[in-house]
């Protein structure tokens, strides 16, 4: 609990960390970038307030407060908070049923809902719910970025050529209106905007030490002032009401109003957070910065609380201002702070100077910023890399161009979530075999496989949503390879396994046990092993089923797999251990019977040694291959390989016999071959491995 309290406290200490770690060499860049963004924030604050049905000054109040607070308590170096298109549209739609547009109640409700949305965002940050934004994939961010960039680009056509475009018009409507009003294009305005764009591209070719966007607007402003902008009909920024943000007289005890605003506040909070984080991540894609979602939640929450407290409106991140902050060379969050201070000073002190900025110059600056945020390389990379992410990117881009931004983002996030669930619900299940150097595992597709052992990679979690897929694929593999009796699951990619996953593994094991085989594991992660242990699954299988990966195949080859199959029925050499194995494939008309019914009697190594020293010792029949027999055998043993035993059963002498092989498995097959003999043959329990372990004497062939 104490650690959690400390972690929450650190979220509110962000301004101190920013001051302590601020690089002084970034001050000049932040200053110029902040001034540039502030000049854009001024008219946007006015415009977005009007779009929300609020007095223009309300937008400026939000620009002064929310921008500064959001930067100080946020985590992104370039995210510029404040009035935004999404916030304005949502505010209007939420407040329309509550109060009449333009009334005092409408204005107070806007401030009230800003505080409510801010509290929700703040609580989400404190609750560490920033992980929710992990479902905003790069495909959504890049698609949203490209779509927003195009929207910003086309929405500046009206201001730059001074034609009337209906509010909220889409790109097709803007194009249609532009062609319909070609004769009404105001060429002096177009010249001012085009000059601004040309200067923004030209100045960096001359020097990169000066902020191109700010310098371009300054040059165009000075030129239009000297030439007489109003004389030529160029629209300027216009009157800027002076004044500082006053405290709002909020109806905090009006429970009826709070109830009416609750659903809208939740929608504003969630959609605003998704939008802000999407913008922050999009800009971070260029800078390489790591965004702390929880810190950003706190920053957005405090920004809205302060905005509402000081008579402002609901706020979020602004894509075009954030893009402009990056394009203008801003380095840290001080850029946004300076932009907010610029609005404050511009409103209170420099209103006469700021009134002279031509609107086409601001439109031209936004056009350049919007073009710069269309990530062509990222789009090509996603298109080539993943078909699913490519679809998400294209759909998000299309929706951004056709639907309100909040719906485009939400649908994109839902698509990412669905794609994530689809991928986790369908983890890759692939049979693998060693490569030619026996150093790595490769896909077994089109390669020879062991007829007894399937080695399978599980590349995903075994949770309730994925078990059907995994189980079906494993059963399909077993159905395709009917001779396989053993399976080795490589679990290094399985991070979680719930009860449903364990049940699926039990099902696979039952199928293998029916075949006379079993299920083995390697590289089981600690979290999965813990789940297996507390559920009893580990105890049910036994520790011998969990193998060391480096020794797993060696163990299975020498201790588990049937060498009779390896030698007589398989002509493949899949594993390293197969390379030195003697191969004697039987003719097609000969088969080695499987042990059926009651298993043969077994004799322990020490008991056999004593029997060999009795007056009537049994005959030892060693059914291994001659090369194995020559390396060492029981003294007095006769070598009749299993392949010969099939066709030379009459060569076995009468009387008691004991069948011997390396581990006892071929002996079992030989006993099945000699079933019905009197007395029935015995099998050396554990074979020559057990004989050697008992330190009994062996005979070695000399050459």
410 found inside a domain: no
591 found inside a domain: no
Q: Name the residue range of residue 635's domain.
A: 602-693
Of 64-68, 391-395, 643-647, the one with minimum mean pLDDT is 643-647
Could you tell me how many residues make up the chain? 703
DSSP 636: T
519 found inside a domain: yes
Regarding whether 458 and 354 lie in a shared domain, the answer is: no
Cα dihedral across residues 460, 466, 469, 472: positive or negative = positive
Regarding whether 477 and 372 lie in a shared domain, the answer is: no
pLDDT score recorded for residue 241: 66
Of the pLDDT bands very low, low, confident and very high (cuts 50, 70, 90), residue 69 is very high
Question: Containing H/E element for 661?
Answer: none
Mean per-residue pLDDT for 421-431? Answer: 86
Regarding whether 367 and 444 lie in a shared domain, the answer is: no
562 found inside a domain: yes
The answer to whether residue 404 scores a pLDDT higher than 80 is: no
Mean per-residue pLDDT for 305-311? Answer: 94
Residue with the larger pLDDT of the pair 391 and 371:
391
Cα–Cα dist 439/362, whole Å: 62
The answer to whether residue 594 scores a pLDDT higher than 70 is: no
Regarding whether 323 and 201 lie in a shared domain, the answer is: yes
Cα–Cα dist 203/325, whole Å: 17
pLDDT score recorded for residue 539: 92
686 found inside a domain: yes
Calculate what percentage of the chain has a pLDDT beyond 90: 27
Task: Give the tokens for residue 251.
Answer: 């109806």
298 found inside a domain: yes
Calculate what percentage of the chain has a pLDDT beyond 70: 92
Regarding whether 351 and 224 lie in a shared domain, the answer is: yes
164 found inside a domain: yes
Regarding whether 341 and 434 lie in a shared domain, the answer is: no
pTM of the model: 0.61
What is the SS3 assignment for 386-419?
CHHHHHHHHHHHHHHHHCCHHHHHHHHHHHHHHH
Q: Which residues pair with 433 in a beta bridge?
A: 442
Instruction: Count the domains in the chain.
Output: 3
Give the CATH number, domain containing residue 651. Answer: 3.40.250.10
Q: Which long-range contacts (CB under 8 A, 24 or more apart) does 23-27 make?
A: 23/331, 23/332, 26/331, 26/332, 26/334, 27/334
Cα–Cα dist 674/277, whole Å: 75
Task: Give the tokens for residue 634.
Answer: 């029981």
pLDDT score recorded for residue 134: 61
Last residue of a domain, one of 354, 379, 404: 379
Regarding whether 544 and 615 lie in a shared domain, the answer is: no
What are the distances in angstroms from CA 664 to CA 242, 524, 681? Answer: 97, 30, 13
pLDDT score recorded for residue 339: 93
Regarding whether 163 and 43 lie in a shared domain, the answer is: yes
Mean per-residue pLDDT for 694-700? Answer: 75
> CB-based burial of residue 186 (10 Å sphere; 0-12 exposed, 13-18 middle, 19+ buried)?
middle
Q: Do the beta carbons of residue 556 and residue 520 sit within 8 Å?
A: yes
Last residue of a domain, one of 322, 349, 379: 379
Relative to beta strand 602-603, strand 619-622 is: unpaired
Q: Do the beta carbons of residue 456 and residue 490 sit within 8 Å?
A: yes
Q: Which residues pair with 603 in a beta bridge?
A: 684
- pLDDT tens-digit map of 278-303: 788 888 878 888 888 889 999 999 99
Cα–Cα dist 130/133, whole Å: 6
pLDDT score recorded for residue 418: 83
Of the pLDDT bands very low, low, confident and very high (cuts 50, 70, 90), residue 502 is very high
Regarding whether 63 and 175 lie in a shared domain, the answer is: yes
Give the CATH number, domain containing residue 480. Answer: 3.30.750.24
In sequence order, which residues have a C-beta less than 8 Å from that of residue 642 and are 6 or more positions away?
564, 567, 568, 592, 623, 624, 661, 666, 669, 670, 673
Regarding whether 572 and 628 lie in a shared domain, the answer is: no
Cα–Cα dist 434/429, whole Å: 16
Q: Position of tokens 């959609």?
A: 271
Nearest to 664 by CA among 597, 590, 605: 605
Task: Give the tokens for residue 188.
Answer: 């002096």
pLDDT score recorded for residue 702: 45
Of the pLDDT bands very low, low, confident and very high (cuts 50, 70, 90), residue 588 is low
Regarding whether 197 and 132 lie in a shared domain, the answer is: yes
Regarding whether 319 and 241 lie in a shared domain, the answer is: yes
Angle of helix 104-126 versus helix 2-11 axis, rounded to 10 = 130
Of the pLDDT bands very low, low, confident and very high (cuts 50, 70, 90), residue 476 is very high
pLDDT score recorded for residue 356: 80
Cα–Cα dist 612/682, whole Å: 14
411 found inside a domain: no
Last residue of a domain, one of 345, 379, 413: 379
Q: Do the beta carbons of residue 74 and residue 295 sit within 8 Å?
A: yes
The answer to whether residue 510 scores a pLDDT higher than 90 is: yes
């Amino acid at each position: 609990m104490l650690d959690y309290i400390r972690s929450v406290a650190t979220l509110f200490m962000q301004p101190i960390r920013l001051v302590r770690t601020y690089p002084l060499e970034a001050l000049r860049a932040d200053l110029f970038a902040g001034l540039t963004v502030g000049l854009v924030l001024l008219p946007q604050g006015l415009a977005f307030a009007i779009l929300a049905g609020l007095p223009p000054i309300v937008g400026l109040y939000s620009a002064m407060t929310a921008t500064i607070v959001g930067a100080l308590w946020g985590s992104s170096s370039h995210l510029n908070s404040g009035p935004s298109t999404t916030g304005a549209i949502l505010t209007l739609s939420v407040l329309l049923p509550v109060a009449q547009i333009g009334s005092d109640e409408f204005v107070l409700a806007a401030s009230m809902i800003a505080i409510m949305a801010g509290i929700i965002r703040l609580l989400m940050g404190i609750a560490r719910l920033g992980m929710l934004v992990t479902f905003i994939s790069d495909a959504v961010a890049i698609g949203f970025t490209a779509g927003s960039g195009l929207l910003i680009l086309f929405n500046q056509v009206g201001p730059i050529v001074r034609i009337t475009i209906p509010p909220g018009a889409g790109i097709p409507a803007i194009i249609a209106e532009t062609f319909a009003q070609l004769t009404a294009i105001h060429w002096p305005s177009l010249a001012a905007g085009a000059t601004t764009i040309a200067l923004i591209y030209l100045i960096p070719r001359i020097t990169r030490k000066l902020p191109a966007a700010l310098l371009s607007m300054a040059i165009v402003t000075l030129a239009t002032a000297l030439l007489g902008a109003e004389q030529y009909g160029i629209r300027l920024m216009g009157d800027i009401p002076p004044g500082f943000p006053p405290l709002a007289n909020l109806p905090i005890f009006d429970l009826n109003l709070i109830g009416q605003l609750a659903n809208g506040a939740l929608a504003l909070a969630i959609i605003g957070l998704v939008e802000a984080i999407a913008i922050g991540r999009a800009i971070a894609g260029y800078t390489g910065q790591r965004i702390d979602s929880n810190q950003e939640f706190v920053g957005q929450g405090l920004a809205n609380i302060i905005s509402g407290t000081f008579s402002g409106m609901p706020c979020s991140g602004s894509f075009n201002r954030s893009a402009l902050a990056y394009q203008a060379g801003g380095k840290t969050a001080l850029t946004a702070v300076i932009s907010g201070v610029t609005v404050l000073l511009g409103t209170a002190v420099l209103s006469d100077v700021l009134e002279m900025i031509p609107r086409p110059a601001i439109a031209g600056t936004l056009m350049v910023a919007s073009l710069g945020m269309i990530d062509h390389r990222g789009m090509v990379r996603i298109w080539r890399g993943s078909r699913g992410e490519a679809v998400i990117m294209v759909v998000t881009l299309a929706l951004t161009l056709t639907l309100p931004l909040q719906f485009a983002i939400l649908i994109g996030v839902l698509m990412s979530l669905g794609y994530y669930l689809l991928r986790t619900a369908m983890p890759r299940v692939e049979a693998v075999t060693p490569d030619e150097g026996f150093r790595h595992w490769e896909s077994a597709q089109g390669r020879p496989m062991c007829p007894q052992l399937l080695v399978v990679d599980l590349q995903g979690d075994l949770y309730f949503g994925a078990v059907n897929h995994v189980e079906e694929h494993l059963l399909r593999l077993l159905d395709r390879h009917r001779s396989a009796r053993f399976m080795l699951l490589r679990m290094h990619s399985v991070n979680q396994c719930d009860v449903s996953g364990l049940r699926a593994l039990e099902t696979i094991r039952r199928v293998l046990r029916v075949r006379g085989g079993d299920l083995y594991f390697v590289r089981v992660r600690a979290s999965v092993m813990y789940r297996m242990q507390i559920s009893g699954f580990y105890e049910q299988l036994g520790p011998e089923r969990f193998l060391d990966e480096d020794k797993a195949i060696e163990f299975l080859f020498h201790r588990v797999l049937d060498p009779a199959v390896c030698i007589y029925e398989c002509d493949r050499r899949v594993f390293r251990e197969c390379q030195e194995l003697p191969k004697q494939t039987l003719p097609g008309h000969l088969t080695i019977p499987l042990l059926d019914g009651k298993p043969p009697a077994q004799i322990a190594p020490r008991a056999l040694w004593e029997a060999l020293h009795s007056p009537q010792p049994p005959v030892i029949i060693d059914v291994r291959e001659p090369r194995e027999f020559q390396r060492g055998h029981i003294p007095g043993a006769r070598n009749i390989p299993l392949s010969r035993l099939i066709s030379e059963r009459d060569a076995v002498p009468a009387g008691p016999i004991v069948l011997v092989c390396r581990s006892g498995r071929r002996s079992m097959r030989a006993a099945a071959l000699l079933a019905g003999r009197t007395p029935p043959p015995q099998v050396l329990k554990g074979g020559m491995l057990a004989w050697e372990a008992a330190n009994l004497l062996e005979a070695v062939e000399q050459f």
